[in-house]
Amino acid sequence: MPRRDLYVDWSRTRYVTRRESGFSPNIDVYYCGEPQRAIVKVDLAGVKLSEVGIEVSGRHLAIIGERHVQETEGRVYQQVEIPSGQFRRVVEFQVEVDAEAASATYEDGILRIELPLRDPSETTRRVPIGRK
C-alpha cells in the first residue's frame, strides 16, 4: 500500500540544497516501488568514483566529491562551460530512510542511490511516564 505521507506540496518544501560556489551536480529525487524507496539520481559525468562519497544519516543524504580540471599545457581555451571543483549536495527526505539497506550504482555518468523508506512505527517509540 503506498505511503500517503509522501504526497506533500513539494513547491513549499526545500529538500535539496545546492552549494553556492564550485561545482554542483544536478539531482533528481523520487519515491517508488513496493516496498517504497527513495531514488536519488546524480549527474556525475566526468567524475571518478574514487572521488565520490555518500553519507546517510536520519533523513539526510550527502553526496560529496570533486570533478578535477584536466590541465593540459599548450591549450588556449575559447570557451569553458564544463564545471569543475569540489561539491557537496544534501538531500533532506520527508521520511526516515534505512541507511543500512541503502545501495548505489553508477552507469553512463549517472550515480543512482536507492534508500528503502523506514516504517514510521519503527522509528517512533512511546515513552512511558512513571510516578515518583
What is the side-by-side strand order in the sheet with 52-57? 16-17, 85-92, 60-67, 52-57
Angle at 62 between CA 114 and CA 1, to 5 degrees: 35
7 pLDDT higher than 60: no
pLDDT tens sequence across 27-39: 999 999 888 999 9
In terms of Cβ atoms closer than 10 Å to its own Cβ (0-12, 13-18, 19+), residue 128 is: exposed
Residue 123 is predicted with a pLDDT of 59
pLDDT tens sequence across 42-92: 999 989 999 999 999 989 999 999 998 877 788 888 888 888 889 999 999
pTM for the complete prediction?
Answer: 0.74
* More confident of the two residues 121 and 12: 121
CA-to-CA distance for 18 and 88, rounded, in angstroms?
Answer: 8
Q: Where residue 126 falls among pLDDT bands split at 50, 70, 90?
A: confident
**φ, ψ for residue 124, nearest 5 deg:** -105, 130
Q: Quick one: fold of 16-121?
A: Immunoglobulin-like (2.60.40)
* Whole-number Cα distances in Å, 104 to 41, 53, 97, 120: 10, 11, 14, 24
26 pLDDT higher than 90: yes
In terms of Cβ atoms closer than 10 Å to its own Cβ (0-12, 13-18, 19+), residue 40 is: buried
Residue 20 is predicted with a pLDDT of 46
